[in-house]
Structure 1
């Protein structure tokens, strides 16, 4: 027999919620489900009092201070009337539960459940654009005493490349392309200024799958999953929705999208953008693509190293075509 350290523990969900229920006023757990082994572990639980979502942050993904920044932002936005999946306090008033695991202490937070389904069409994109504008308006005055990364060139480009480039050692032409692309994108980002471009607290992952709309109540939306939040350029926050709509397409003549047009029109009607911010959105679509490549390769030890040549072919093809189409 040998002993090998674990880098990620998956907890037995029934035992997990028996222990969690003792810490919160949520009633008796009836059913539970392990929903996702994603950036964090997500569980869905139904009790005799309602339905909740438990997030257990992965070890080395977010520090306690970074998590507390996220929770501060959520409570601040909630106090400003933004509909979102909010953190629930334990019986002792604490928001974070500490869980012992083989890889060390893990942090868990219980959230209210977001009802509805994901954004699906131009009509719901209008509601989403308006809601994103209201979110940014509400977040304008936010400050936190807890430190967290910023959505800047270090976080969005430098750090992802540390994970990506080693996975491209057998593709030297792509290494050169990625390095050159990162230099160009970073230079463009560093030209953005606080006088011309909007900077503030961002959701960080506004791709349309982190908001649910209630079909029974037209225009009713609930935001969730602020795990990628932080202070950053608001043009980046908006670009994520466009990126999600177009990044699987390899035809630059078809990069336009009616959902994006509806989203952006609704956003600027609620919260006008400078021309500099509008011009920066295509830049951040490319930045987001590089960030994604780093995210996938950086988590391969837990998610699996499925980033094969076919994966790189597709992801890098889009990046090249997008940068050419928008002269980046």
Structure 2
């Protein structure tokens, strides 16, 4: 491992200043992803800025009826919180689908969103990867790409985002609260995680020195029927081949509200806007679900080894929507 400096900041403002003034710096929170990447030589920060004890760890109501989740909240604590159980099932289900209990006890809300891809070419410094070393090429394009993206990828990168929590947050219309030397700002979740485009090395909308302080959930995130479903190669401790987070409300057999997001298919959670537009106001039937999800996935561009993901995602989404609609049908 490359030698590095260490800064134990006394405040978030001090941390942002320390990080922003060092081009090769990195923030350290739970460390469940960063430390592994440092051991592999993928991440080689000159300085670690320790955020221990600085990130908000509260889960509290906001004035508009929503909820603010501090970036330092542990995944296990959020999954066990009352708001994530009965009031927002998709959130708890997504959290409990990720990693092991031990990792959930260490991983933070902010760190979960900022974790980097598990692409084998990214994690192997002997292989070409535009995300790790811009301009070096993408080994997965013609290599082993079974686990890679089918939506939104570019000729420079076909990696997927590994977070389960992020898929649920995408479906819940969350916002991300950010702070840095330039002060606080809030970014819609859709604009926080990026598609690869021409700059796959840029995972998020964060500027150098900025850090995530909280996730904001709107009042509408609570109380609606919701569900998270994940397909993986083994029963636990595996990243998604495809996953679905869905919110669905119906009245008299028709869809009055719908939100659908896919995981495991793209560089960020894929919000299924086309499917949602087709479903809203229409019948909550199996045929309508198949048609709308099929229209969404028509944009897929599978690689040599992962066309099965399109079929898998379609089946998962239709099953989840059907189960959410069933109790509401007469």
Structure with the larger helix share? 1
Output the TM-score relative to the length of structure 1: 0.28
